[in-house]
Structure 1
């Protein structure tokens, strides 16, 4: 292995390994400070966190490896960790262990020692161990293991210098004698296998004894690597297979389980030798808290309360904070508007229109930053405190019946189990789910939740078509999506996700810890910045595509000319009204008039965005255009005449621009697609206007109501509400509550919005799954909506009657699916992991 003295190199590579909840992240932060970066390991979605520091003139790069319980090839995290240790060959391995759970942690340490990499044992959480009545003799432990043992309290930065010095010393020191686990009955076979490996080229790639252990253990990935190096059917593989079979026949136990038991007994022996317990008969604080938190009656209540607090603080209060954050984004948009070519009276330069569209698309995503900061802070608190593991433990059995995981809970909460969530943070939070199949099922079903952007559309249709049944209709919408998500998850895990990797649910309930302000804040900022970088690299390209579909091919020359004629009439009227003032001649020039009109539009927009700070807007505009500002805030009669005429001109200009936009949408590629789909979508009760609204909402759900507002214009001049306009127009066209029900259900199942689609690409690393997340929900939603509309029409049911029948059918199907899955899992597999609890389902 790599034992090159550090003095011969200008840098060191250090791997930071440990089990989950051992405080590895706090040790990483303690060592590297703010000099950190996050990426993904090549080909996988597991985080690669690395940082660096300088010590004694040497640059030390630290790689924070995924938390894992072993070095088998069972889970993605285990494979990533093992691949790094064997492939990158770090100079030193810092093994972070939980001092309050030393025996469990040492089982992993013993596996690391077999890799023959210089190792430092970081005995973290010494304060917790002390409060638990554990006294650890570090000198004894160091002597027994043959490696340096450094006691630390990562959250207080205790032990930082000692750890840095131990890492440097381990890199400089020649390879010493370290403890190697003994496997008793298997030792003769291991020695024979090791000698056989020494005669092959495998010894140049892997430690010989470690490879012998893994071959006899039957590690699938190692067997594959040996086959790749030596070819299938070689003597070493055949010898290992014969030995495994023979051992099982003689002892009724697999070699892997026997080896795990040997490591467990050795770890227990080490703990007996090095640890003294002073509070044996007392229940720990964690045990006392769990008596309440995990109580079969109290647990659901506490969980719901926790979920509500997370939702309320992050989504509700975080959304309230956006009213202070949005003006900052609006000012950035105003800056972009100033830098781009000026707007035309009716037609904007293409570069301006597209530029502002891209800025608006980015701002729609950046507006979530206050939500994310609060959300990720709360998640960090749950993780660091130890309660996140309890949430997964409580709900795993229920979710397992539908192919999900206990840790699918948080993504659903954030996505909108309560109306008003957001699928973007929901999809982001799936990264912590260790089961790849469950993680993918969660990613693909989180968008079914009721995000905040869907609520205006639901509210519109409920108020128009289900006004007497508002409470029932909203209950239907807020719960039907949960049942659909569970059913779809079960369908996906039984079909397209069936071949994906699954792992038994290894559940460890860590001791409760008090989170630190630095750790929580650092992780919240880190995760939010990661979101900004990843989403920002994709959103621009996608927004350009959506812009093109909505803008082109554009108006015909005839229609374009007609709108310009109306604008010319409006400007002529304006000039006639100010002709008798001293300013009439000044605005006879089209360029001067356009400058005034644009200034007025910018001024009104700035006023709306400024809110309580509107006074500062006046000062800004007066300083920028002192002569023209006199017409925005007139002081004399002549200026008031110009100001009044300007307001009327601006109103007519806005109306014409809105009408142009309406016709552009109707004649755009999306509009043509909407009309082209009408012969098909009529089975679901959709007309072309609904098609266009649904298609446009792909960019952002909020745009569905805005698009409908553009398309349903009759009555707008009389200041009728959109509900009144839509109700009158749809009734004339035979639109019924049954139509509305089909539309609402389709909208609930409709593909995720642009931001969520981008996040699905980021989390899965695959355009294939991003495309699937669009196509599958579209087909599913259309089939269900068609069944509702066509079936309800054939049976002569009203909208509210069909709603009740459909709800009962979906709930019954969900219950039947869950019960069938539960009964069919009579003997779920249990992974044999020594010294800590495991559970499947």
Structure 2
């Protein structure tokens, strides 16, 4: 018998289901390692696809975003629905949580109305049995007119049965009619609308007329758009749908959409009554017993604080310790890149080398976060799979919602550094799971206000100069005022630039607690980290190139270049003079060999610092002896007086060269586009009392927050022979210029609200998928920070206040405004979360 057409072609299968139904675990069990993670075009929702071989053909499996329905409220719902309508999968596997069947059936009914071949994957059968539930799958299959397969996804139980059901459903596509839900008093008008839609070939070819009729009566905006796409004139049908819905609402006092939802819930309850039996309906489940503690009014904050502390400690603190292991590897890659690029000159490097190493350094700065991300994503996966992540959102949502945020905004803020020591990059990354798009954007744009670890050095520097007697109080103010500003800014954004952004009714389900699987946690951690590496790698090159050009050009003038060249030639003459009569001078007969020697010496000293043991150092010496035998006496320890004299002379020359190159670099920065911009900005920043040096330091900190102090250390350089700390040098110079603690306060407030660093702005671009929002994340905080800093300095100076008095005034004003905004209630309500076990007990009633 010849193969049917379906058996000889590639099958496209979609996995659809509600959040926390075990869909991802089932996807991993079906596809194994043959997976690909990307994003749906134009959005940041994960697109996970994989493939497996079955009965001689390839089955491509696409894991759709978890969604409770196929309406147009949320991004996930629209993405899932768009995929089903445009891609037309051969089979849709509807994954249901067997222990929470009634809630999941709402999505099932909508899939059946779409007319797609459906297979029910009844997952978590082991959990249902532990809850005393027995499900009659044969009766359930007859009620829904689709095959039903029982599964335990994390153990792989039922996997082959599901593959067989998918294969058979694809072979029978179009041969059986799906079940249709009867909508009672609305059915007559719906049937009439469906009949008219069925007469239109363009509609028949695009979508199920039954599904479209239901959506039109529900006044679904995306369904109306779809009808317009199918017809040149859809006003007649839309008018009919609107009249039918209005007549029904007038007769019954209930909207058509509410009636549809009620009919679905009634049918779900009827199916539960005929297909599910509870052995002990009054038994209190383990999940409910655990929630009595974890969601207790007084204990919930303590458990939440402990959870947040563990996440922070393991991912940020311990993960950062792991970077001490990975950084030598990245440094080794840099050395490898350096050896492949053109060699460095004595003073000037080829553009290919300097730009190439700049790119490598930029990439390394981001790749250095990989250990943090691996741990962070693993912990997030554990929280998600266990069911506690939904409870975190539930605990804090009421407070954060008042400021346009979401309960799941908590974790990004913690990772960003609520008090001090976090990092905005993983904080922005962690916003991916926030389902409300408006709240997600507000979180992305305010996470950088948190006190990342890189902000602390500048705070420490200025506090130790201007607030020596009140260090603790000022640091407390800075640590908490950023949270206050973040909440206020989130509220401002949500009612202004984000007001038209899509939002969704707050639908939250507190699922049963589950024990996460090691395989699932590790797979998700590696998948998300790899996605970060790929995406950031494509953006960082472009942004780093722009920053490089702005810092390098126009470069030194010919006169200054000649000045440094003369000093270099003098140092070389002195070096050769010190080696006069030394037989080792034969190893450097010309200028090229001397430059090579200095480069080898520089690389050797860097590698020697990375040598972690005596054996590693000896191996390095052996490599030098083998690769550069003529240079070895200049580098390796020796008692030979000629070698020791040569080593001292080379060390002095290398120090001079390093000093000259640093001075040239500093002068090039001052004269660069960014440096000149710092001077030109004085006309604007004068109201905050910032001079060009502070401007350049703040501009350079855009590449990395730590650069602010490093740049100030260069700009406030010390005279030859002095050995003073940066606090002494900067404090003496600024106080001599008339700067006070009010200036320092303005700088710190500006820095607290300053735009995110380069790595974070790249992550904003990745998470939003928009250069427009990336630019906004730079411009808006700059304007806000400069306004706050200027007002602080101007008002404080006019009132003749001290720095501490003005800091207290700013803090109390911001706190008072926060309380006023927080007490203002939203004009719309939020749906309360319902525990999954509440439905289970209702089903058993």
Q: TM-score range, shorter-chain basis?
A: over 0.9
* Pair 207,668 (structure 1): closer, same or farther in 2 beyond 3 Å: same
Q: Who is 2:627 aligned against?
A: 624
* Shift, 1:715, TM fit: 4.5
Q: 2: distance between equivalents of 1:193 and 1:90? A: 26
Residue in 1 aligned with 2:205? 204
Structure 1 alignment gaps of length 5 or more: none
Equivalent position SS for 2:204: helix
- Tell me, yes or no, if structure 1 residue 659 matches structure 2 residue 701: no
Contact 1:6 1:168 in 2 (8 A): no
**Match of 1:314?**
315
Tell me whether 484-493 or 647-656 shows the greater mean CA deviation: 647-656
Tell me the distance in 1 between the aligned counterparts of 2:441 and 2:834: 26
2:758 aligns with 754
Alignment of 1:727-806 (within 5 A): 727-806=731-810
* CA deviation after TM superposition for structure 1 residue 360, in Å: 0.5
- Corresponding position of 1:633: 636
Q: What does residue 516 of structure 2 align with?
A: 515
Does 590-599 or 513-522 show the bigger shift? 590-599
Residues 1:64 and 2:73 are matched in the alignment: no
| Equivalent in the alignment of 1:607 | 608
**Counterparts of 2:452 and 2:627 in 1: how far apart (Å)?**
41
Question: In structure 2, how many angstroms separate the alpha carbons of the residues matched to 1:218 and 1:6?
Answer: 39
Partner residue of 1:460?
461
What is residue 192 of structure 1 aligned with on the other side? 192
Matching residue of 1:126? 125
Give a deviation string over 1:799-826, Cα, whole Å, max 9, x none: 1111111111111111111112x2x54x
Q: SS at the partner of 2:120?
A: strand
DSSP 3-state at the match of 2:527: helix
When residues 103 and 643 of structure 1 are mapped into structure 2, their CA distance, relative to the original with a 3 A threshold, is same
Deviation of the 1:49 alpha carbon: 1.1
Deviates most, 705-714 or 217-226: 217-226
C-alpha RMSD of matched pairs (Å): 1.9
Q: CA deviation at 1:485?
A: 0.4
Q: CA deviation at 1:498?
A: 0.8
Question: Are 1:150 and 2:149 an aligned pair?
Answer: yes
Determine the C-alpha separation between the residues in 1 that align with 2:602 and 2:587: 19
**Following the alignment from structure 1 to structure 2, what is the Cα–Cα distance between the partners of residues 833 and 528?**
32
Aligned mates of 2:178, 2:585 — CA distance in 1: 95
Q: How does 1:340-489 map to 2 (within 5 A)?
A: 340-489=341-490
Which residue matches 1:292?
293
Shift of 1:691: 0.4
Alpha-carbon distance between aligned partners in 1 of 2:361 and 2:835, rounded to the nearest angstrom: 55
CA contact under 8 A between 2:13 and 2:60: conserved in structure 1?
Answer: yes
Confirm or deny: 8 A CA contact 1:507 1:837 kept in the other structure: no
Name the CA distance, whole Å, in 2 between partners of 1:476 and 1:329. 37
Residue aligned with 2:52, SS: strand
Structure 1's 614 and 481: CA in aligned 2 closer, same or farther, altered over 3 A? farther
Distance 1:835 1:35, change over 3 A: closer
Deviations 1:749-787 (CA, angstroms, capped at 9, x unpaired): 111111111111111111111111111111110000001
Alpha-carbon contact 1:260-1:834 (below 8 Å) kept: no
Give the direction of change, closer, same or farther, for the CA distance of 1:829–1:244 in structure 2 (3 Å limit). farther
Q: Secondary structure at the match of 2:630?
A: helix
Question: How is 1:543-622 mapped onto 2 (pairs within 5 angstroms)?
Answer: 543-612=544-613, 613-622=616-625
Q: CA deviation at 1:487?
A: 0.5
Distance 1:832 1:680, change over 3 A: closer
Flag the 1:614–1:287 CA change in 2: closer, same or farther, 3 A: farther
CA contact (8 A) 1:343 1:349 kept: yes
Instruction: Specify the alignment match of 2:15 in structure 1.
Output: 16
Normalising by structure 1, we get a TM-score of 0.96
- Aligned twin of 1:29: 28
SS in 1 for 2:505: coil
Per-residue deviation, 1:229: 3.0
Per the alignment, do residues 715 and 375 of structure 1 end up closer, same or farther by CA in structure 2, a change over 3 Å counting? Answer: farther
Query: For residues 262-301 of structure 1, what are the structure 2 equivalents within 5 Å?
Result: 262-301=263-302
Question: Which whole-Å deviations, capped at 9, do the CAs of 1:528-581 have from their partners, x for residues lacking one?
Answer: 000000000011111111111111111111111111111111111111111122
For residues 339-391 of structure 1, give each alpha carbon's deviation from its aligned partner in whole angstroms, at most 9, with x where no partner exists: 11111111111111111111101100000011000111100001000010001
Higher deviation after alignment, 762-771 or 197-206: 197-206
Residue 57 (structure 1) shift? 0.7
**2:7/2:171 contact within 8 Å kept:** no
Mapped partners of 1:233, 1:541: distance in 2? 46
Task: Look up the SS of the partner of 1:718 in the other structure.
Answer: coil
Distance 1:700 1:837, change over 3 A: farther
Question: Which stretch of the first structure deviates more once superposed, 345-354 or 384-393?
Answer: 345-354
Identify the range of structure 1 (532-541 vs 571-580) with the bigger mean alpha-carbon deviation: 571-580
1-side partners of 2:670 and 2:783: how far apart?
24
Q: How far does residue 157 in structure 1 lie from its aligned partner after superposition? A: 1.4
Change in Cα spacing, 1:576 to 1:496, as seen in structure 2 (3 Å) is same
Deviation larger for 657-666 or 190-199:
190-199
1:118-140 Cα shifts (integer Å, max 9, x gaps): 11100101111111111112222
For 2:799 and 2:267, the matched residues in 1 are separated by 72
Q: Per-residue deviation at 1:618? A: 2.5
Residue equivalent to 2:137: 138
TM normalised by structure 2 equals: 0.96
Task: Give distance in 1, aligned partners of 2:652 and 2:234.
Answer: 88
Moved more, 467-476 or 616-625: 616-625
Alpha carbons of 1:837 and 1:772: their partners in 2 closer, same or farther (altered >3 Å)?
farther
2:331 aligned partner: 330
Gaps of 5+ in 2: 840-845
- 2:699 maps to which residue? 695
Report deviation, 1:223: 2.0
Asked if 2 retains the 8 angstrom alpha-carbon contact of 1:715 and 1:725, the reply is no
Is 1:504–1:831's contact at 8 Å kept on the other side of the alignment? no
**1:675 corresponds to:** 679
Contact residue 575 and residue 587 of structure 1 kept, 8 A:
no
Closer/same/farther in 2, CA of residues 245 and 830 from structure 1, 3 Å limit: farther
Deviation, structure 1 residue 590: 1.3
Give the Cα–Cα distance (whole angstroms) in 1 for the partners of residues 581 and 488 of structure 2.
73
| Conservation of the 8 A alpha-carbon contact between 2:506 and 2:830 | no
Taking the aligned partners of 1:325 and 1:716, their CA distance within structure 2 comes to: 38
**CA–CA distance in structure 2, aligned partners of residues 835 and 243 of structure 1:** 35
Offset at 1:6? 5.0
Q: Is the 8 A contact 1:751 1:778 kept in 2?
A: yes
Give the SS at the match of 1:21. coil
2:106 paired residue number? 107
Cα displacement (A) at 1:212: 1.8
Distance 2:71 2:345 in 1: 66
In the alignment, does 2:221 pair up with 1:217? no
1:627 alignment partner, SS class: coil
1:506 is matched with: 507
Indicate yes or no: 2:711 matched with 1:707: yes
Distance 1:608 1:829 in 2: 58
